[in-house]
């Protein structure tokens, strides 16, 4: 049973993360993760970690918040959830040796890391919506349960802050929009955030390591084929809405080597669209 839900910190279904145990499990010599901090509340873990990056923080810094009051998604869209109801974190990466033009794969890499970790750790099926949403199935309907935000940081040395948000125990009456979901609503067998966070960060470490070893080549790292296998967008008729009111409609047939979604149009053309150019990606029927 839950305690009085009038206090955001009194919900017994949502215990705090154990920062010391997480550090012991994840921060190790020779590993990617070099520090891990858990804060009770902050505006945005991405903004906080970007400030640390500018101050020279090492690659592998992890910042987790029990609550974000000004969380952001792609294109500065808001991301909010009750305290301790999800995983809200950012990690600092410095992908030395990887050409900058390959960095566009980082949000897709993070999506693969999350989507491959959660089925084992939580016992819930996941899928990916290009470019940066993690989907679960709630009452037969695909719902967004997670999102990813990658930001370049103007810092000493090349740096990227990668933010991940996953709704874990969000209840139906707490959903910010009807299209949202959570692991609990999808029937997850595990909603303890400690093992979920460990699984997520270990998965991210593995995929990032493979990608860097391959020099950022998504095919060489098996990232491109894994993303395509788990991408619910492929095979569907979609409409990519672009800045200025332009749009491209067609069947999503592939994700190319640059991480762009390739649409086969009715005119017989194959049009690639990049994540940075898409304002919205909707089912074609919904957009009509």
Q: State pLDDT tens for residues 189-232.
A: 999 999 999 999 999 999 999 999 999 999 999 999 999 999 99
pLDDT tens-digit profile of 38-75?
A: 999 999 999 999 999 999 999 999 999 999 987 555 44
Closest to 148 in 3D by CA, of 126, 175, 172: 126
Three state DSSP letters for 111-166: HHHHHHHHHHHHCCCCEEECCCEEEEEECCEEEEEEEEEEEEECCCCCEEEEEEEE
Phi, psi of 26 (to 5 degrees): -115, -30
Domains delineated in the chain: 19-229 (3.30.930.10), 233-287 (2.30.30.100)
Q: Residue 32 has what DSSP assignment?
A: S
Asked if residue 8 has pLDDT above 60, the reply is no
- What pLDDT sits at residue 119? 97
Q: What is the pLDDT of the chain when averaged over all its residues? A: 92
State the Cα–Cα distance between residues 57 and 73, nearest whole angstrom.
Answer: 23
DSSP strands (E only) in 24-100? 35-39, 61-65, 71-72, 78-79, 86-93
- What pLDDT sits at residue 11? 62
Closest to 31 in 3D by CA, of 227, 184, 263, 209: 209
Asked if residue 5 has pLDDT above 60, the reply is no
Asked if residue 156 has pLDDT above 80, the reply is no
Asked if residue 83 has pLDDT above 80, the reply is yes
- Full-model pTM: 0.92
Helices (H), the chain: 19-26, 45-54, 106-122, 193-213, 223-230, 284-287
State the Cα–Cα distance between residues 224 and 285, nearest whole angstrom.
Answer: 28
Closest to 32 in 3D by CA, of 258, 211, 152: 211
Phi, psi of 194 (to 5 degrees): -60, -55
Give yes or no for a contact between 265 and 271, defined as CB atoms under 8 angstroms apart. yes
Give yes or no for a contact between 109 and 35, defined as CB atoms under 8 angstroms apart. no
What percentage of the chain exceeds 90 in pLDDT? 83
84's torsion region: left (phi>0), alpha (psi -120 to 50) or beta? Answer: left
Q: Tokens for 200?
A: 């997520």
- What pLDDT sits at residue 79? 60
pLDDT tens-digit profile of 84-127?
A: 999 999 999 999 999 999 999 999 999 999 999 999 999 999 99
Give yes or no for a contact between 113 and 89, defined as CB atoms under 8 angstroms apart. no
Give yes or no for a contact between 124 and 183, defined as CB atoms under 8 angstroms apart. yes
Distances in whole angstroms, Cα of residue 200 to Cα of each of 15, 154, 188, 238: 18, 27, 15, 29
Asked if residue 76 has pLDDT above 60, the reply is no
- What pLDDT sits at residue 77? 56
């Amino acid at each position: 049973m839950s305690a009085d839900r009038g206090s955001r910190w009194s919900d017994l279904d949502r215990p705090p993360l154990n920062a010391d145990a997480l550090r012991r499990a994840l921060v190790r010599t020779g590993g990617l993760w070099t520090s891990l901090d858990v804060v009770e509340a902050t505006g945005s873990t991405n903004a906080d970690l970007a400030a640390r990056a500018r101050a020279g923080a090492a690659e592998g810094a992890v910042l987790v918040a029990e609550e974000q009051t000004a969380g952001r998604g792609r294109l500065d869209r808001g991301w909010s959830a009750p305290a301790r109801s999800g995983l809200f974190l950012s990690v600092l990466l410095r992908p030395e040796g990887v050409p900058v033009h390959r960095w566009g794969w980082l949000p897709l890499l993070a999506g693969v890391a999350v989507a491959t970790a959660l089925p084992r750790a939580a016992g819930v099926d996941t899928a990916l919506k290009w470019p940066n949403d993690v989907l679960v199935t709630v009452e037969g309907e695909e719902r967004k349960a997670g999102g990813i935000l990658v930001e370049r940081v103007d810092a000493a040395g090349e740096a990227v802050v990668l933010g991940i948000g996953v709704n874990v125990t969000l209840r139906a009456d707490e959903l910010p929009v009807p299209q949202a979901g959570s692991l609990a609503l999808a029937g997850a067998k595990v909603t303890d955030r400690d093992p979920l966070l460990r699984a997520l960060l270990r998965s991210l470490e593995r995929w990032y390591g493979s990608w860097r070893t391959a020099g950022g080549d998504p095919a060489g790292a098996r990232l491109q084929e894994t993303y395509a296998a788990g991408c619910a967008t492929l095979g569907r008729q979609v409409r990519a809405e672009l800045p200025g009111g332009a749009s491209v409609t067609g069947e999503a047939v592939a994700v190319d080597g640059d991480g762009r979604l390739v649409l086969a149009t009715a005119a017989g053309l194959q049009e690639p669209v990049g994540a940075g150019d898409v304002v919205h990606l909707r089912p074609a029927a919904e957009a009509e």
